[in-house]
């Protein structure tokens, strides 16, 4: 499906940059346009793939290009004040060709955390296409302010978008990795999953011999349950003779239907029961979509159908869709599982609990700081100020 991508804040911009690289690499064609919005000049300069004219600096009058310093109320305020600047960039994209908007933001920071929900609200009022969010939850070790920001942003963002796709940094960090290289790896993991999903909906009829190619309307229908979504992905290297050899031999002679079916079914299970972008109880999903990716000779309808039926049993949902995304040049077969409308998410409960505690502690600290300052300045009325 064709997306207008908008990266809000530093993390949002970096992930959108990575989406562009991925789209070019797989020749996906799912990015119609990409925009980066930020209040920090250096973050915008650091991007590699977002075109310079699509980088929008907001809040100049207030923060002079230096960012909002994890103050997401300020992030929301400047997004509101400078919505014309953002709209100016969106006006330059052919929105009639876009199937949906996707706003990407780190929810623990300031600019994206506060600005993304404001932009979602703005887009919903103007356009008829769905507006989706891709929110990045902070790690548990990032501290109270990031948790509080994320919990408040989540609460706001989920109401403003048609569906909020979530990625939990905490579930994906590795011990011993530096923050920088960690994010580079994590961003590739994010983009591989969400990129494959959206690219799947962009295969044109006739591109490849496909049994049942996923259509963008199937993605939109799956996401129309609103609420929160998560993605699972699993892949396996296969020997492929889809390329030169296939054209010499007539192709696919060694193709074993039974093996392909079993492989796809087990990949769907692995994708669902393995690490999700947002870990949750799969049974709580409202809708689902299974996409099989890889060389066409290794994809078959029966495998997708079996995987789909298995997911129906796991979720108890009757709304599980399925299809293919043929990728002739890959030597990997994969399964993407999109679970939409999930409600049993321990990480969100934990985030909200820690955020409430952080909010109470902040209020207590502020109250006692005010008291202590008053006592510091108290001279019992013996000294007068100059004026």
Query: Is 295 among the residues that bind ligand GDP (CB under 6 A)?
Result: no
Beta strands 3-8 and 131-137 are: unpaired
CA 196/CA 177 separation, integer angstroms: 26
Q: With respect to ligand GDP, which residue has the nearer C-beta, 170 or 332?
A: 170
Query: Is 195 among the residues that bind ligand GDP (CB under 6 A)?
Result: no
> Of 117-136, which residues contact ligand GDP (CB under 6 A)?
136
Nearest CA among 172, 195, 166, 194 for reference residue 184: 172
Q: With respect to ligand GDP, which residue has the nearer C-beta, 86 or 136?
A: 136
Residues 6+ apart with CB under 8 A from 253: 241
Q: Select the residue interacting with ligand GDP from 4, 35, 99, 108 (CB under 6 A).
A: 108
Q: Select the residue interacting with ligand GDP from 157, 183, 194, 233 (CB under 6 A).
A: 183
**Using CB under 6 A as the criterion, what x/- string covers residues 237-276 for binding ligand GDP?**
----------------------------------------
CB of 140 to ligand GDP, least distance (A): 10
Query: Is 169 among the residues that bind ligand GDP (CB under 6 A)?
Result: yes
CA 129/CA 18 separation, integer angstroms: 24
- Taking residue 266's Cβ as centre, other Cβ atoms within 10 Å add up to 17
Query: Is 17 among the residues that bind ligand GDP (CB under 6 A)?
Result: no
CA 165/CA 103 separation, integer angstroms: 10
Q: With contacts defined by CB under 6 A, how many residues of the chain interact with ligand GDP?
A: 22
| 35 within 8 A of 5, measured Cβ to Cβ | yes
Residues in the chain: 387
Query: Is 9 among the residues that bind ligand GDP (CB under 6 A)?
Result: yes
Query: Is 142 among the residues that bind ligand GDP (CB under 6 A)?
Result: yes
143 known ligand binder: no
| 47 within 8 A of 23, measured Cβ to Cβ | no
Tokens of 352: 């909200």
CB of 85 to ligand GDP, least distance (A): 16
Sheet holding 55-57, edge to edge: 55-57, 31-38, 3-8, 100-106, 131-137, 163-168, 228-237, 332-340, 287-294, 320-326
Query: Is 11 among the residues that bind ligand GDP (CB under 6 A)?
Result: yes
Query: Is 277 among the residues that bind ligand GDP (CB under 6 A)?
Result: no
Query: Is 193 among the residues that bind ligand GDP (CB under 6 A)?
Result: no
DSSP 138: P
Q: Select the residue interacting with ligand GDP from 33, 187, 225, 229 (CB under 6 A).
A: 187
Interaction site with ligand GDP (CB under 6 A): 9-11, 14, 67-68, 106, 108-113, 136, 138-139, 142, 146, 169, 183, 186-187
């Amino acid at each position: 499906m064709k997306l207008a991508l908008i990266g809000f804040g530093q993390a949002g911009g970096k992930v959108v940059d990575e989406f562009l690289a991925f789209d070019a690499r797989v020749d996906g064609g799912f990015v119609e346009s990409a925009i980066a919005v930020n209040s920090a000049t250096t973050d915008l300069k650091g991007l590699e793939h977002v075109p310079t004219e699509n980088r929008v600096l907001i809040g100049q009058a207030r923060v002079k290009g230096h960012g909002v310093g994890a103050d997401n109320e300020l992030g929301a305020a400047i997004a509101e004040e400078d919505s014309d600047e953002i709209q100016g960039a969106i006006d330059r994209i052919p929105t009639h060709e876009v199937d949906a908007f996707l706003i990407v933001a780190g929810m623990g920071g300031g600019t994206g955390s506060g600005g993304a929900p404001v932009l979602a609200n703005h887009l919903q009022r103007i356009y008829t296409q769905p507006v989706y969010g891709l929110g990045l939850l902070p790690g548990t070790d990032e501290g109270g302010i990031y948790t509080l920001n994320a919990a408040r942003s989540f609460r706001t963002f989920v109401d403003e978008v048609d569906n909020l796709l979530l990625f939990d940094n905490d579930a994906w960090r590795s011990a011993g990795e530096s923050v920088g290289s960690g994010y580079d790896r994590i961003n590739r993991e994010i983009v591989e999953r969400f990129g494959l999903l959206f690219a799947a909906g962009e295969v044109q009829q006739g591109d490849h011999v496909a049994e049942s190619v996923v259509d963008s309307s199937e993605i939109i229908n799956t996401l129309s349950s609103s609420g929160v979504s998560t993605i699972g992905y699993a892949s396996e290297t296969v020997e492929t003779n889809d390329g030169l050899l296939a054209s010499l031999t007539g192709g696919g002679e060694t193709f074993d239907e039974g093996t392909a079916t079993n492989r796809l079914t087990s990949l769907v299970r692995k994708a669902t029961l393995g690490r999700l972008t947002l870990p949750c109880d799969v049974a709580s999903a409202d809708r689902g979509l299974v996409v099989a990716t890889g060389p066409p000779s290794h994809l078959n309808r029966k495998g997708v159908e079996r995987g789909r039926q298995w997911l129906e049993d796991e979720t108890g949902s009757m709304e599980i869709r399925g299809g293919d995304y043929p990728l002739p040049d890959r030597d990997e077969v994969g399964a993407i599982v999109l679970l939409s409308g999930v409600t049993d998410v321990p990480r969100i409960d934990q985030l909200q609990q820690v955020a409430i505690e952080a909010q109470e502690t902040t209020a207590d600290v502020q109250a006692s700081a005010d008291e202590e300052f008053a006592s510091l300045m108290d001279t019992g009325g013996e000294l007068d100020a100059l004026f």
